[in-house]
Amino acid sequence: MQEKYKYLIIGGGIAGTTAAETLRKNDNEANIAIISDEPRMYSRIMLSKSNFFLEKIPFDSIWLKEEKWYIDNRIDFIGDTLATKLDTQNKTVKLKDDKILQYEKLLLATGGEAREWPLPGTDKKGICYVRDLSQVKILMDSVRSSKQAIAIGSGFVSFEMCEMMKKAGVEEITLIMREPYYWYPVLDEESGKMIEGAMIKGGIKIIRENEVKEILGDNSSNSSGQERISGVVLKDGTEIPCQTAVIGIGLSCNLDWIKNAGVETNKGILANEYLETNLPDIYTAGDVAEFNDIILGERVQLGNWINAQKQGQVAAFNMLGKREIFRMVSFYNATGFGLSISMSGDPCPKNICNVIKRGSSNLNEAQGFTRIIIDQNNEIVGGTFINRPQDMAPVNKLIESNFKISSHESELANPNFDLKQLIN
Ligand SMILES: Cc1cc2nc3c(=O)[nH]c(=O)nc-3n(C[C@H](O)[C@H](O)[C@H](O)COP(=O)(O)OP(=O)(O)OC[C@H]3O[C@@H](n4cnc5c(N)ncnc54)[C@H](O)[C@@H]3O)c2cc1C
């Protein structure tokens, strides 16, 4: 006989776990299961933070929940198990061991995977991604025996990992990016160069508008027979020796089995503001959800912890039959090389109309640098904040309230003006 769950959750990350927690708090009788292809769930954000990466805290602090939590809350955690097929007619999910589970309500909280580096030879030892715990354990090991490393890509992963590797004692670190400046096109050149300046000051070499054409290998000191990366050759012929390469070129979602079942997808799983998919009783949350953001008035897919957590909660409320809209100005923070970098709302909208700058992008000045992004309706839709974290909360409130900048442009541009004064 097939096991039947009232609430079945695929993916046990922060979105899936928060959903399970919310469901249990509001429905004491229901049977709930989480299916996860990872054996045990952990705090993904800690993977790139110095406490964990540099082993300053006990390894066990990484776990999202203790095993006892699942037992106490009567949540079946089925780990190390991939969901492979969805049958929406019979409301079943097939697992990799051919077991079939029935559901009344299904949550797809399957997150994303690190996009693979599309080059021959990426199976070499020392080529590392930073998406899951098993990958980061390999990276930590590789870093310990590396004098030289490279990082590929110009986003959060490379920024955080360059700093981690420096702190871990790697002597030479080179960042290689295709883009003309860091975080292009999300940031403008001035902000990108500000970040690069801090990284260069921190000892990182930066190579722009270039890419690797060949990966070099070395199996001389390796008993396993697997070649280890020994360097890379760039398109312009430059050769860079390295024993570790960190790849941070974005995220992709494995949607085939979901798409095959008739769930509408784009880069992620399409959902409305209630986090409902196009099919009845199927919901989505977290990094995989491409949802209708009612504040920005567009469909967005985000990759941040608080968003995934809050969406897990809202999706659960809707699975319980309450009608709750997901409404939040998203934000993301990263720190490193003496910088605090935050972004909120939509920092790079298609219909960008005006950008108001506050402060200075000169690293030697203490003001920090904020950009307030305005759309064609004269409303604030996003912001980027480098060493000006104090601006983020008020800007988020202004985004949330569809604030029209009208006569306030000079106040917004004045770094000494307290933005809180504009909030009703
Ligand atoms: C190194 C790193 C650092 C980060 N730092 C920050 C930070 O500082 N701040 C911040 O806001 N965000 C950060 N993030 C992003 C944040 O971690 C994610 O936004 C968040 O974890 C997403 O949670 P989720 O539950 O949606 O997905 P995930 O955590 O990806 O969980 C999805 C789970 O579903 C599983 N799964 C997928 N398909 C299947 C299937 N078919 N069957 C069974 N299981 C499946 C996956 O293996 C995974 O375990 C960071 C991410 C990384 C990788």
If asked whether residues 96 and 158 sit together in one domain, one would say no
* One domain, residues 24 and 57: yes
Domain total in the chain: 3
pLDDT at 384: 97
pLDDT of residue 321: 97
- Widest CA span of the chain, in angstroms? 70
In this structure, are residues 377 and 403 in contact, taking their beta carbons and an 8 Å threshold? no
Concatenated DSSP letters for 9-65? EE--SHHHHHHHHHHHHH-SS--EEEE-SSSS-B-GGGGGSHHHHTT-S-GGGGBSS
Average pLDDT over residues 193-212: 97
Give one DSSP letter per residue of 250-279, joined into a string.
Answer: -EE---HHHHTTT--BSSSEEE-TT-B-SS
> Distance between terminal CA atoms of the chain?
59
Clarify whether residues 33 and 76 are in a common domain.
Answer: yes
Q: DSSP states of 108-129 as a string?
A: E----EEPP--STTTTSBTEEE
Would residue 328 count as lying in a domain? no
Are 176 and 269 contained in the same domain? no
For residue 412, report the phi and psi dihedrals to the nearest 5 degrees. -60, -35
Cα 411 to averaged position of ligand 1 atoms, centre (Å): 39
| Domain final position from 184, 217, 247 | 247
Count the neighbouring beta carbons within 10 Å of the beta carbon of residue 256.
Answer: 10
- How does pLDDT run across 154-191, given as a tens digit for each residue? 999 999 999 999 999 999 999 999 999 999 999 999 99
Pocket test for ligand 1, best of 45, 290, 341 (most atoms within 8 A of CB): 45
Distance (Å) from CA 251 to ligand 1 centroid:
10
Taking only the tens place, the pLDDT of each residue in 335-393 is 999 999 999 999 988 777 899 999 999 988 889 999 999 998 899 999 999 999 999 99
- CB distance 304 to ligand 1 below 6 Å: yes
Mutate which of 77, 247, 275, 304 for ligand 1? The one with the most ligand atoms within 8 Å of its CB, which is 304
Q: 416 lies in a domain? A: yes
In a domain, 324, yes or no: no
CA 354 and chain centroid, separation: 27
In ligand 1, which atom is closest to the CA atom of 130?
1
Shared-domain flag, residues 123 and 243: yes
Q: 133, 202, 217: which is closest to 170 by C-alpha?
A: 202
Comparing CA positions, the residue from 115, 112, 48 lying closest to residue 250 is 115
Instruction: Give 14-42 pLDDT, tens digit per residue.
Output: 999 999 999 999 999 999 999 999 999 99
pLDDT band of residue 222 (cuts 50, 70, 90) is low
- The answer to whether position 327 is within a domain reads no
* Residue 153 binned pLDDT confidence (cut-offs 50, 70, 90): very high
Helix axes 14-26, 305-319, angle to 10 degrees: 40
pLDDT digits 0-9 by tens, 260-294: 999 999 999 999 999 999 999 999 999 999 999 99
Q: Domain range spanning residue 305?
A: 3-112+253-319
In a domain, 107, yes or no: yes
**pLDDT tens, 232-256?**
999 999 999 999 999 999 999 999 9
DSSP type of residue 379: B
* Nearest-10 Cα torsion for 399, 159, 240, 194: 60
- Model confidence over 89-147: pLDDT tens digits? 999 999 999 999 999 999 999 999 999 999 999 999 999 999 999 999 999 999 999 99
Average pLDDT over every residue of 189-203 = 97
Predicted pLDDT at 16 = 98
Last residue in a domain, options 319, 350, 373: 319
Residue nearest to atom 5 of ligand 1 (CA): 45
Confidence (pLDDT) at 289: 98
pLDDT of residue 12 exceeding 90: yes
Same domain, 277 and 170: no
Confidence (pTM) = 0.96
CATH number of the domain that residue 277 is part of: 3.50.50.60
Residue 154 and residue 125 share a domain: yes
Residue 362 maps to a domain: yes
- The neighbouring-strand residues paired with 152 are 176, 247
What is the pLDDT, as a whole number, of residue 398? 96
pLDDT for 223 equals 64
Q: Which of 231, 247, 263 is the last residue of a domain?
A: 247
CB of 8 closer than 6 angstroms to any ligand 1 atom: no
Pocket test for ligand 1, best of 82, 100, 110, 335 (most atoms within 8 A of CB): 110
Name the residue among 171, 180, 128 with its Cα closest to residue 146.
171
Q: Are residues 31 and 99 in the same domain?
A: yes
Which residues have a Cβ under 8 Å from the Cβ of 159 and sit 6 or more positions away?
182, 195, 199, 334, 336, 337, 341
**331 inside domain:** no
Task: Please tell me whether residues 189 and 292 are part of one structural domain.
Answer: no
| pLDDT at position 226 | 83
The reply to whether 163 and 265 lie within a common domain is: no
Q: Supply the residue whose CA is at minimum distance from atom 19 of ligand 1.
A: 304
User: Following DSSP, what letter does each residue of 195-229 receive, concatenated?
Assistant: HHHHHHHTTEEEE-S--EEEEEEE-TT-TT---EE
> What is the CA(412)–ligand 1 centre distance, in A?
35
- Whether the per-residue pLDDT at 221 is higher than 90: the answer is no
The answer to whether position 167 is within a domain reads: yes
Q: Are residues 124 and 234 in the same domain?
A: yes
Residue 344 beta carbon below 6 angstroms from any ligand 1 atom: no
How far apart are alpha carbons 219 and 227 in whole angstroms? 4
Mean pLDDT of 218-228: 75
348 & 199 share domain:
no
Q: Please provide the average confidence, as pLDDT, over all residues in the chain.
A: 95
Q: Which percentage of the chain shows pLDDT scores above 90?
A: 92
What's residue 372's pLDDT? Answer: 96
Query: What amino acid occupies position 205?
Result: K
Give every CB contact of residue 224 below 8 A, 6+ residues apart in sequence.
Answer: 125
pLDDT score of 350: 79
**Of the residues 287, 307, 314, 331, which should be mutated to test ligand 1's pocket, given the most ligand atoms within 8 Å of the CB?**
287
Distance CA 20, CA 399 (A): 31
DSSP for 146-167 reads -SEEEEESSSHHHHHHHHHHHH
CATH code (residue 395): 3.30.390.30
